[in-house]
Amino acid sequence: MEEMPTLLWLPACAFAGTVLLIAAAMRVFPRWGLLDFPERYGLNRKRLPYPVGIAAVITFLAVFILYMPLNQQNTGLILGIVLLAGIAYIDDRRPLPALPRFGVQIAVALLIFATGTRIYTITNPIGGIISLDTFVIPWALFRNPPVWSGIFTVLWLLLTINALNWFDGIPGQVSLLSTIGFLTIGALALSPRIAHMDPQMQKALATLAFSLAGVSGACLMFDFPPNRILLGDTGSMFFGLMLGVLTIYAGGKVATAFLVLGVPLIDSGIVIVRRMMQGRLPWHGSTQGEHLHHRLRQCRWSQRHIIALTAVMGAILGTAALFLSTREKFLAALILMTIMLCLSLYTERCMHIATDTPSEH
């Protein structure tokens, strides 16, 4: 009976705290000159408070420090969040080169792994368990880190950070998808699917996930089109990092997270392949929109229709992931990849037709 109040009041506090901080930011950011730069992107609108994602970071850190013990693992996560938020905030104000940003992301992922947040096993979709702790470095200070686990954990966190950040092309999209992801992980923590974990850990995971859902849900109130704020990389990278971390906390439920975040993850993969086929480095963007949401906008989709598409796909697949076996999740991921490829071909054809159609004078 004592567990349920915490599952309710802490997420409620996270929601209320984020709302209050964002409301305060909307008043003081313009006075401090913390506004976005619409002219950089050829937009003709008033400047908006930016980056308000820092409010999400501050609120969650307050909740996390209040609720969780400050052991080595949690301290490493706090430091990682602060470091990532710091570089993202600087980049939001004065754009940094891609390599320094990526270097900091690697450092953050390594720090979080070294202090104890790790994926030790993954389930093989054709049967069995793949162990990632067979090759260990004898280093007691960092709990004898396993090499393969380190590689997989770091790559996973880099993927979730950047996939969500790259998908932040339409206001509200990251906030809504993050909320769906956190709610899914929270529901997973309360389900019998991870019954092998101890009850206290399940309660802590669910509380953190629902608290993050409260934070992202509060951001969505101000971020949904027509938006009154911009979260910036500070918000999108933070949400991406925490979705990756909570997946590890849930016992390495990578397949579940992949289905929830399937749209931005697969979209990132398609963009990377397209850039490499054009002879460009994967992290070098283009002035032309390359991601699915950009291409759908060029096909005259409204912002709300694009958000609805990604939200419905994320919600359906995230809910299904709570009840599917690993093999069924793998098949669902293949179906999602097929859908994404079809959408990519649709936008390609749509943009080609628009380019070939002569304009009327």
95-133 pLDDT, tens digit per residue, is 898 889 999 999 999 999 999 999 887 776 666 677 787
What value does the mean pLDDT take over residues 135-140? 70
Determine the 3-state secondary structure of 121 from DSSP.
strand
pLDDT, residue 252, reads 65
Of 339, 353, 350, the closest CA to residue 310 belongs to 339
43 pLDDT above the threshold of 80: no
- The more confident residue out of 114 and 166 is 114
CA dist., res. 45 & res. 33, Å (int): 16
197-229 pLDDT, tens digit per residue, is 677 888 899 999 999 999 999 999 999 989 999
143 pLDDT above the threshold of 70: no
The backbone torsions φ and ψ at residue 35, rounded to the nearest 5 degrees and listed phi first, read -130, 160
pLDDT band at 83 (very low <50, low <70, confident <90, very high): very high
pLDDT, residue 361, reads 41
CA dist., res. 21 & res. 29, Å (int): 11
CA within 13 Å, CB half, 63: 28
Tokens 């409204």 found at: 302
What value does the mean pLDDT take over residues 305-325? 86
pLDDT, residue 256, reads 80
The overall average pLDDT reported for the chain is 86
Tokens 């004065």 found at: 94
What value does the mean pLDDT take over residues 267-282? 81
pTM score over 0.85? yes
pLDDT, residue 58, reads 98
157 pLDDT above the threshold of 90: yes
Pick the range with the lowest mean pLDDT from 185-189, 237-241, 352-356.
352-356
CA dist., res. 231 & res. 12, Å (int): 21
Mean pLDDT is highest, among 31-45, 81-95, 312-326, for 81-95
- The more confident residue out of 256 and 334 is 334
**Radius of gyration (Cα) for the chain, nearest Å?**
20
pLDDT, residue 1, reads 39
Cβ neighbors of 84 (< 8 A, separation 6 or more) are 104, 105, 108, 161, 237, 238, 241
262 pLDDT above the threshold of 90: no
Helices (H) and strands (E) in the chain, counts: 13, 2
